[in-house]
Amino acid sequence: MIYHQSSFEKWPLEDESVQAITTSPPYWSLRRYDIPEVVIDGWQGQYGLESNIDSYIEHTLLWCKEAYRVLKKDGIFWLNLGDSWNNRIGIIGRQDKSKYGGKNDIHCLRGGDKKYLPGCKNLLPHRIAIALVDKGKWSLRNDIVWIKPNCLPESVKNRFSKKFEFVFMFVKNKDYYFNLDAVREPYKETREHKASQKEMDNYDEGKRYIIDKMYKGKNPGDTWFISNQMLCFQKSW
């Protein structure tokens, strides 16, 4: 079932009825979409185009309250956020869609916050993560580095090109459902591994289970190499 509504409205879902939430909201001051504006506590505009970083964080905390409400006690909230660099002037920047890989009705921006020096990295993903922990009752279990092998090139000459984003793994309490076995990476088969598999025939079921657990695969870790084409995020902001 798909609901078309503002994420700042009450979500049409029961309390603690959702096992997992995965989302990638608009990043701050990077894109203007061809979508209706929203009104939030007297402020009117597009979420992500606030005039300062603090307002963007506060607006993010608002819809995250709904995420907290509908998530089950043992559920997981996955939040993907990218960062940006400050432009103190706060004006609309590049808009050449074909040159910069933009899409129809999407304009590239370069906004900024006058509190910070121009060119300073905003560190927004972790600002929001800290705010969700401090104010939103969330527990942060992982800050996963999503490395994008095919990310768009940048023409910058005074810093390194951006090649990654963050995916945060939030939970509501320490007892949550997490099936590590479903995503383990296979170990490379070694001579010792083959020998152990052969010896398993001589063990009873209890020992067989213990040995089998050893070779289920390794924990994939918190660095993910995933191409953009492999992912499809549906946004309803």
Q: Which residues of 175-185 are buried (b: 16+ CB within 10 A; e: fewer)?
A: ebeeeeeeeee
CA triple 128-130-132, angle to 5 deg = 70
Confidence at residue 214, expressed as pLDDT on a 0 to 100 scale: 59
Please give the Cα distance from 165 to 175 (Å, whole number): 27
SS3 for 5-24 is: CCCCCCCCCCCCCEEEEEEC
User: Token pair of 78, please?
Assistant: 């996955």
User: Token pair of 163, please?
Assistant: 């090649």
User: Token pair of 120, please?
Assistant: 């300073």
To which CATH superfamily is domain 18-182+220-230 assigned?
Answer: Vaccinia Virus protein VP39 (3.40.50.150)
Of 192, 236, 182, nearest in space to 47 by CA? 236
Confidence at residue 237, expressed as pLDDT on a 0 to 100 scale: 40
| pTM of full prediction above 0.85 | no
Please give the Cα distance from 34 to 32 (Å, whole number): 7
Amino acid at 157: K
Yes or no: say if 111 and 32 are a contact pair by the CB < 8 Å rule. no
Yes or no: say if 112 and 191 are a contact pair by the CB < 8 Å rule. no
Provide the residue ranges of all domains of the chain, joining segments of one domain with +: 18-182+220-230, 185-218
User: Token pair of 1, please?
Assistant: 């079932």
Confidence at residue 216, expressed as pLDDT on a 0 to 100 scale: 76
Yes or no: say if 125 and 83 are a contact pair by the CB < 8 Å rule. yes
Please give the Cα distance from 172 to 15 (Å, whole number): 13
Amino acid at 98: S
Instruction: For the chain, 237 residues long, give each residue's pLDDT as a single digit of tens.
Output: 899 899 999 999 999 999 999 999 999 988 887 788 999 989 999 999 898 999 999 999 999 999 999 999 999 999 999 998 888 655 444 444 444 444 554 555 667 888 888 889 999 999 999 999 999 999 999 999 999 988 878 888 999 999 999 999 999 999 999 999 999 988 776 555 555 555 555 555 555 555 555 567 889 999 999 987 655 444 434
